[in-house]
Chains A and B, each alone.
Chain A
């Protein structure tokens, strides 16, 4: 079972905080990978919020291909951040790790957000295809104000490898996952958190309904619904489909992935709609043990459990800094000053939603409605 560590804060924080939290949960990950997503960036990228950032890894040859392609598409490189590598025994260094901010091609500079997002997605997919066979180019995200970093190894070791403790890279939302490989081959594209068009999520668990969900998503006709090196990638894409394509409020993500029974739906004020949603989105119902932690483009973070609450998961913190962790010990490490009694352990009907800047924590219960825990 992977270990998850997400922190959302009103101040810029270093990813080292997440990694130290993961370290307390070390028995739960096997060094088969770590993924980091930083959103709402500080440090070097604080002044570049409107520019899309391409995050990934490439070889020397891949870098040339990437540059040629990006130039050909009209993107202009503005800023590059690469971690200063400290070569360590046990971590196989790749040639270039990068987060590069680009300016949009002139022909889309004034286009609406949807057009820009579509271009960014298409570009990321094209780069992924180019480098997929020989792993010369691996791209994780291409979106404004978001950086993704992934590598195989133990989180603390990778922190040292990337020199994250001294790097000037900070963010208000940091998601980190220490991976316990259950996907047969260790593949960086299988490493959480996953990201698509502003939506990100990571999971500890195993999605037993993976194949029907994958087939359903792939047949939506949306080009970004590809990959699926991990069965958990579908959680991110379901989130995107529900909130971005269908434009439903975030709480309906819970109703889609863990729908209520027919008799339970009858207690809801929105029962007529929920009944229809349950039928029409039947193939997106997840199964198996899963705790999903995710974020939305506007910066809300959330945690949901599977329909039987088979995984651990806890949310807690103080106003301005809230952590969503797979285990309590991680929370203790990150925010020891909080009042533990108010920690939230979401159960099978619950969805914990933390507002941007960790100003408010609310629990959405599918049967009982909203409860505000922190405001």
Chain B
């Protein structure tokens, strides 16, 4: 009797199990092979098949059949060569002969754990439903009782502060005659504060991003600062920065991140004596919204020459950052000492703030920071933030949405009267559905002093293909079809850094106009409307109640 394994195909998957199914059209395909060559997952491959062809030659129909061996494009049913739906095949096909189609009934994650390795990926939480931020609308419109402003004509000051702000009672000022002057005899430490644009580019490392992508972003924000007069800043992510940039005057537009692996910090510390400008700020990463409790991970295949030099490590090894800062053992250690150490490194001239992942415990961290006079801000990264590599379970099921987390932290500060002392930076899903200005403005009105974006700028400035239907999302394997998250020169050459920079500038200029279009009808222009919660409403009573805003329907 034949063994069962020979009779059925239980060990094979049908294409119905896959999240994307390739639609290939035999009649259009000219067999150029571009699609199979470009596929980052090797999900499609050229093969041959025997076809029975009915044909008729001559003026009178005389059908005859012929068996031919033809070249075809097939989709792999190997789970590790699944089609990610990136559609790079469609992009390169000259005849529109191929495209992936979303299969909503797929059972992909049932099987994507071969070898006992859970599914890992990049991108953000796979939840295409509408986010809380997109449920908020701006409903306080200036009508007749006060005139709306003109977004195109009036002056708007869309700026914010990054840094610990002293309460007015503690300022080292003195009244001299009719003037308030700086009291030079007062030894009160005035923490450094930067005036920045309220939407910053969040932490994405050189390494996670390709050289062309990172360079494009850096050029874009430099242009915004130097030419457009918009003080947009960008965070380095963990892993240091090119030495030339560290020693340049442009370093003032960058926030240097230190995370649990301390990658790149040997080079940064060595560069301090040669720095001609201070960096904008130092961000201490304790958590990331996309993967709370996980450290960073740069896969070995991304650790090439440039990265190894910047990070001070050998080439071709995995670079995992631990989930926590291993040298510390308590919040006092982890936060207070580290913040002060970083202040010391730059002579107390650079703001230092921690970044945590959104969490129900965020308020505990917040209150610790409130009591720490050196903490320059608190950055909270919500669950919809992106990442270059993480376990799917962490991304999909771990974390806290940013809206309520931020709101409760802000209201806690209000209760203590500290809402202007410790700026809150909100991140995680800002612009998830493309509504960058609206999401940013809503977070500001919920209490954020600034917001951070990451995934959005990759999508808008470089055409990142990833989405919340798990399209693409292979940032972790180093084969980004757009050349954004890869260290392979063949791939990142696809991305022109000048074009990325151009797009960054376009995105920010458009964002600035849109923010004005939001603030103008609400009669706000002189200061950022932080905590202007009467301006927004939710379309869901439960959301409105939780955020302590109005419900509008």
Tell me which residues across on chain B come within 8 A of A259, comparing CB atoms: 526-527
* A107 in contact (CB, < 8 A): no
* B276 in contact (CB, < 8 A): no
Check A246 against B169 for contact (C-beta < 8 Å): yes
Docked complex Cα distance between A153 and B391 (Å): 68
* A279 in contact (CB, < 8 A): yes
* B122 in contact (CB, < 8 A): no
Residue of A nearest to B190 (CB): A276
Check B173 against A283 for contact (C-beta < 8 Å): no
* B523 in contact (CB, < 8 A): yes
* A307 in contact (CB, < 8 A): yes
Nearest CB on B from A211, distance (A) = 5
Check A282 against B527 for contact (C-beta < 8 Å): yes
Q: Evaluate whether A219 and B417 lie within 8 angstroms (CB atoms) in the complex, with A282-B165, A289-B147 already known.
A: yes
Residue of B nearest to A290 (CB): B146
Tell me which residues across on chain B come within 8 A of A252, comparing CB atoms: 180
Q: Which of A211, A249, A283 contacts B179 (CB 8 A)?
A: A249
Q: Evaluate whether A288 and B181 lie within 8 angstroms (CB atoms) in the complex, with A212-B531, A262-B195 already known.
A: no
* B532 in contact (CB, < 8 A): yes
Q: Which of B146, B155, B175, B420 contacts A216 (CB 8 A)?
A: B420
1/0 per residue B405-435: CB within 8 Å of A?
Answer: 0000000001111011000000000000000
Check A280 against B165 for contact (C-beta < 8 Å): yes
Q: Evaluate whether A285 and B416 lie within 8 angstroms (CB atoms) in the complex, with A211-B531, A246-B168, A262-B195 already known.
A: no
Nearest CB on A from B119, distance (A) = 44
Residue of B nearest to A269 (CB): B179
Check A208 against B146 for contact (C-beta < 8 Å): yes
Docked complex Cα distance between A282 and B421 (Å): 10
1/0 per residue B238-259: CB within 8 Å of A?
Answer: 0000000000000000000000
Tell me which residues across on chain B come within 8 A of A269, comparing CB atoms: 179
* A286 in contact (CB, < 8 A): yes
Instruction: Identify the interface centre among A208, A251, A274: most chain B CB within 10 Å of its CB.
Output: A208
Interface residues on B, range: 35 or more
Check A274 against B180 for contact (C-beta < 8 Å): yes
Residue of A nearest to B524 (CB): A287
1/0 per residue B185-196: CB within 8 Å of A?
Answer: 000001001010
Q: Evaluate whether A287 and B525 lie within 8 angstroms (CB atoms) in the complex, with A206-B146, A219-B414, A277-B171 already known.
A: yes
* B178 in contact (CB, < 8 A): yes
Tell me which residues across on chain A come within 8 A of B526, comparing CB atoms: 209, 258-259, 285-287, 306-308
* A339 in contact (CB, < 8 A): no
Docked complex Cα distance between A235 and B149 (Å): 21
Tell me which residues across on chain A come within 8 A of B531, comparing CB atoms: 211-212, 215, 283
Check B175 against A220 for contact (C-beta < 8 Å): no
Tell me which residues across on chain A come within 8 A of B533, comparing CB atoms: 211
Check B149 against A308 for contact (C-beta < 8 Å): yes
Nearest CB on A from B349, distance (A) = 16
Tell me which residues across on chain B come within 8 A of A182, comparing CB atoms: 145-146
Check A216 against B419 for contact (C-beta < 8 Å): yes
Nearest CB on A from B159, distance (A) = 8
Nearest CB on A from B194, distance (A) = 11
* A281 in contact (CB, < 8 A): yes
Tell me which residues across on chain A come within 8 A of B530, comparing CB atoms: 212, 282-283
* A270 in contact (CB, < 8 A): yes
Tell me which residues across on chain A come within 8 A of B414, comparing CB atoms: 215-216, 219
* B167 in contact (CB, < 8 A): yes
* B522 in contact (CB, < 8 A): yes
Nearest CB on A from B213, distance (A) = 32
- List 9 A-B pairs, minimum CB-CB distance, nearest first: A206-B146, A219-B417, A208-B523, A272-B182, A285-B527, A182-B145, A288-B523, A212-B531, A280-B168
- Can you name 19 A-B pairs with beta carbons within 8 Å? A206-B145, A208-B142, A208-B522, A208-B524, A209-B529, A211-B531, A211-B533, A212-B529, A215-B419, A246-B169, A261-B157, A262-B195, A272-B181, A279-B161, A280-B171, A285-B527, A287-B527, A289-B147, A310-B147
Which residues of B are in contact with A by a Cβ distance under 8 Å? 140, 142, 145-147, 149, 154-155, 157, 159, 161, 165-169, 171-173, 175, 178-182, 190, 193, 195, 414-417, 419-420, 522-527, 529-535
